[in-house]
Amino acid sequence: MPSPENLILQYFVLGLRLKLNLAETQVFPSILPLLDPEWGDAVQIQVSPGAIQPYGPGEGAQAGGAILVRQFIILTVYYRLNLDQPGRSDTILTENTNGLTDLVTRIRAVFQQTFLNETVFERIRYEGDGQTTWEDGDLGIVKRQITFSAAYGQPIGGDSLTDAELTQQIGVTG
């Protein structure tokens, strides 16, 4: 079974593909977002893992249960502008139903009510957007990052180091 981090990224990719009707070449997981200059679609969304931090009382620790953490998920949206019309670049970013601002609003709406098939213990949290910046001015491509977070429990056990293991290895007793 995939780790919770991996499962959350997979759900984000699948949710965006389904709700925005995008292809596998338009939405995919990425360790580090990087624009491919050969990409030809109008929209590309790369889903990347962000930082993980402790969550909740006691900085996420729970005796005998799960370690509670918050995983940040960063969506990097690359948007190709149609700059064939002189003086319209500002309009294209905000154009109704086709613009970048509308796309970002739809992306936020995809995750506003989901628990990702009960992978997380509270709804996905929208953390904010970055500023729209030029990624490649010659190709007419802008970039915007959207950050979400998901809170979940990491099971304790299996790979966790115990005091008994340490004592056995170094031959020291209490």
The model's pTM: 0.81
Give the Cα separation of 36 and 32 in Å (integer). 12
- Using left for φ > 0, alpha for ψ between -120 and 50, and beta otherwise, residue 88 falls in alpha
The tens digit of pLDDT for each residue in 10-61 reads 999 999 999 999 999 999 999 999 988 788 888 999 999 999 988 876 655 5
Task: Count H helices and E strands in the chain, helices first.
Answer: 4, 6
CA distances from 94 to 11, 60, 132, 157 (A): 28, 41, 12, 50
* Domain boundaries of the chain, sorted by first residue: 4-170
Tell me the CATH number for domain 4-170. 3.30.2000.30
Range of lowest pLDDT (7-21, 28-42, 97-111, 147-161): 147-161
